[in-house]
Amino acid sequence: MSLQVQPHVSLKPYNSFGFAVRARAFAQAQDDGQVRAALAYAQAQQLPLMVIGGGSNLLLTRDVEALVLRMNSRGIRLLSDDGHQVVVEAEAGESWHPFVQWTLEQGLAGLENLSLIPGTVGAAPMQNIGAYGVEIKDVFAGLTALDRHSGELREFALEECAFAYRGSLFKQHPERWIILRVRFHLQRGAVLKLNYGPVQQRLQEQGISTPTALDVSRVICAIRQEKLPDPAVLGNAGSFFKNPVVSAELAGQIKQQHPDLVAYAQTDGQVKLAAGWLIERAGWKGFRDGDVGVHRLQALVLVNYANGTGQQLLALAQRIQNDIAARFAVHLEIEPNLY
């Protein structure tokens, strides 16, 4: 099937904030051939190419003067299975949570802590998504990407991806690589990661002493649904700010003033602070300015109530950043990709 390019398309259905900006041109790629066709079209029309997945990590502040290509490829494959170790490959356009659920239905463990995260498989390694003690890098088995410059396919191993906290080589160079499919190391009967207190507590409350991966997924889904708004109901991109990493000295100074500071020591001697705690302590939780605001239940989530704009939400985010810097001498970094 040839690539279908549409002019002047609203991106409201394609970003989880629901901002009503328009793309100069828009297309959806079902396979590698259509990705290559999109590259050729953009070059012929002298347009930039902007690749998106589920639009759940995207802050659009203006119309997009580019060809916006939505990755919509589908397919999940078992590449190897020795009865214990399994490698699964999924196309970039697969929705993340349904993919996680599919692995659990096959009796595979490894992705359960990443349940109910919005977005697509292809976007997961870009952001090195993580939750409840697990990141993509912990289960990563490789990926296939298209080099925009040469047009060649390249296979990436773990050590080549420069995975970091909410970052990767692919996020650093989005103009270079288009992720086509991703592979994961999963297990049958794996040791589960239950270090996150609320997960253990929920399991105990339900009388589950020897949980399965599916049990863990269900508990995490319940916790996330209580804490985070559904983007289909209230526009948001999940956690809006990264948890800042600061010096032990600065963390100690803040703790002197605020003994209940939520902080986690890092192996390099620095300290990771909970951005949500900082924002809530500063009084922003539940704040609303017109059609944008801070969620009433989770200070780390900024929301579009109805007809807000990306510019309004960005302005609010900058107000919060300035306030946190003034109060705590901490810089909060925006997590969604900004356009």
Could you report the per-residue pLDDT of 11-63, keeping only the tens digit for each?
A: 999 999 999 999 999 999 999 999 999 999 999 999 999 999 999 999 999 99
Active site residue 166: yes
Whether residue 57 is found in the same domain as residue 83: no
Same domain, 133 and 31: no
Distance CA 211, CA 177 (A): 39
Q: Calculate what percentage of the chain has a pLDDT beyond 70.
A: 100
Q: Are residues 250 and 320 in the same domain?
A: yes
Instruction: Based on the fold, state whether residues 101 and 139 are members of the same structural domain.
Output: yes
Instruction: Please identify, among 53, 71, 89, the residue that sits at the C-terminal boundary of a domain.
Output: 71
pLDDT at 209 over 90: no
pLDDT of residue 317: 98
- Domain containing residue 332: 235-338
Whether residue 228 lies inside any domain: the answer is: no
Asked if residue 114 and residue 168 are part of one domain, the reply reads yes
308-312, long-range: CB within 8 Å, 24+ apart, which pairs? 308/17, 308/19, 308/235, 309/19, 309/61, 310/17, 310/19, 310/21, 310/59, 310/60, 310/61, 310/62, 311/61, 311/62
Please say which residue of 48, 71, 94 terminates a domain. 71
Q: Is 168 tagged catalytic?
A: no
Whether 239 is catalytic: yes
- Residue 226 included in any domain: no
Whether 201 maps to a domain, the answer reads: no
CATH number at residue 26: 3.30.43.10
Comparing CA positions, the residue from 16, 24, 52, 43 lying closest to residue 234 is 16
Domain count, the chain: 3
Show the DSSP H helices in 235-309 as ranges: 248-257, 275-281
Would residue 332 count as lying in a domain? yes
Q: Could you report the per-residue pLDDT of 173-193, keeping only the tens digit for each?
A: 989 999 999 999 999 987 788
Please indicate, yes or no, if residue 111 is contained in any of the structural domains: yes
Overall average pLDDT of the 293-316 stretch:
96
Catalytic entry in 89, 112, 239, 281: 239
Q: Which of 166, 183, 218, 281 is catalytic?
A: 166
Within-domain flag for 22: yes
> Are residue 84 and residue 22 in the same domain, yes or no?
no
- Picking from 39, 55, 71, the residue at the C-terminal end of a domain is 71
The catalytic position among 89, 94, 135, 335 is 335
For residue 189, the model assigns a pLDDT of: 81
